Amino acid sequence: MKRLLRRNETLVGLTIIGLCLVIGLSNPTFLSIGYLFDLLRSSIVMGIFAMGVLIVIVSGGIDVSFTAVAVFAMYSTVKLMLAYAPNSPIWVGFVLSAIIGLGLGLVNAFFIAKFRLPTLIVTLGTLSMIHGFLLFAIGNRIIRDVPPSWTAFARTALVQVPLERGTASLHPAVFITLSVIVITWVLLKYTMLGRSIYALGGAPDAAERAGFNITRIQVFIYAFVGLLSGIAGMTFGSLARQANPQDIVGLEMGVIAAVVLGGAQLTGGKGTVVGTVLGVALVTIANNSLILIGVPAVWQRVVIGIIILVGTGIPAVQARRSGTRTYSMADV
């Protein structure tokens, strides 16, 4: 029991329950099915991003370029579809955006794996490069006349619940996030590649001596993050029914905070899919629901910052007291 209470996932879960009780008792709107569907919709893109960031952090790296990759892939996809295949189905857009994201992820992988450059420096460079190119070549030109398949996808509902005013709809894009979560969980828990990612983050030199191919592992990690970023960008654009080059960029700190809040250590070697999902849930609730209890928008960042500091500080203190910094594959 004591071990369960010390687990980061348990602490985050209890925090979510407490926050939900406070918000729900203050404003019953929070407990409605319509608001639940809105929260799920708000977590779709962040959930996809978080799975990629989790793998990077577990490996001992850091990636801040994924939002720029996502918006570049999304904007490039809508331009290409409008020019060459305006009536193509939505899956064409997802495949194209994923390929573009994969290519940009391989750029990060090349500099990190080939030249062993610091991951933060490389991804900061590609973030600035990609975002700067968008600002220079596109500026603020928003494409609102998206392909018909984008609009049809945005209007699709998996479940519809009639309310007193209107209808609450659950978008099927939640299955995209769920699929990414399951794939990441299987990868980290049941594959040798997942074990090698943990080994790389826990002790890089020991992992190399043990026979792990560090270069190939890093290429996979950043290519995978690029691919997920392309999917996230396409998901965001299709749900918004527009392509705005200024969107998404700036969300990276919130995503990284959700992953760290879920128990991943920035030093590498530790992190779980379950914890990350809980971290995304907590950040999403805080971002979207604090206004329901009267917290002004300008103070929401302060409250979220306090939650992050407390949520990450308690496990750190507990780990220091126990004198451990190990991970268990069973916790993934």
Virtual CA dihedral for 197, 199, 204, 207, nearest 10 degrees?
-110
Q: Rounded to an integer, what distance in angstroms lies between the CA atom of residue 36 and that of residue 141?
A: 33
**Amino acid making up residue 300:** Q
pLDDT, tens only, 39-94: 999 999 999 999 999 999 999 999 999 999 999 999 999 999 999 999 999 999 99
Select the more confidently predicted residue: 318 or 100: 100
What does pTM read for this prediction? Answer: 0.92
Average pLDDT, the chain: 89
pLDDT > 50? residue 137: yes
- Taking residues 217-246, report their average pLDDT: 96
pLDDT band at 162 (very low <50, low <70, confident <90, very high): confident
| Site of tokens 């619940």 | 161
How much is the pLDDT for 5?
A: 52
Q: Rounded to an integer, what distance in angstroms lies between the CA atom of residue 102 and that of residue 114?
A: 17
Virtual CA dihedral for 112, 117, 120, 123, nearest 10 degrees?
-50
Select the more confidently predicted residue: 119 or 134: 119
| Site of tokens 């406070």 | 22
Q: Which tokens belong to 189?
A: 């828990």
| Site of tokens 């190939």 | 216
pLDDT > 90? residue 160: no
Q: Rounded to an integer, what distance in angstroms lies between the CA atom of residue 270 and that of residue 197?
A: 10
Q: What percent of the chain has pLDDT over 70?
A: 91
pLDDT > 50? residue 264: yes
How much is the pLDDT for 306?
A: 77
pLDDT > 80? residue 104: yes
pLDDT band at 329 (very low <50, low <70, confident <90, very high): very low
How much is the pLDDT for 8?
A: 78
**Amino acid making up residue 284:** T
pLDDT band at 296 (very low <50, low <70, confident <90, very high): confident
What are the sequence ranges of the domains in the chain?
35-249
How much is the pLDDT for 323?
A: 59
pLDDT, tens only, 75-86: 999 999 999 999
Least confidently predicted of 73-82, 146-155, 216-225, 248-257: 248-257
pLDDT band at 278 (very low <50, low <70, confident <90, very high): very high
How much is the pLDDT for 327?
A: 43
Q: Which of 330, 73, 81 is nearest to 227 (CA)?
A: 73
- Taking residues 233-253, report their average pLDDT: 92
How much is the pLDDT for 302?
A: 81
pLDDT band at 328 (very low <50, low <70, confident <90, very high): very low
Residue pair 73/129 in contact by the 8 Å Cβ criterion: no
How much is the pLDDT for 54?
A: 97
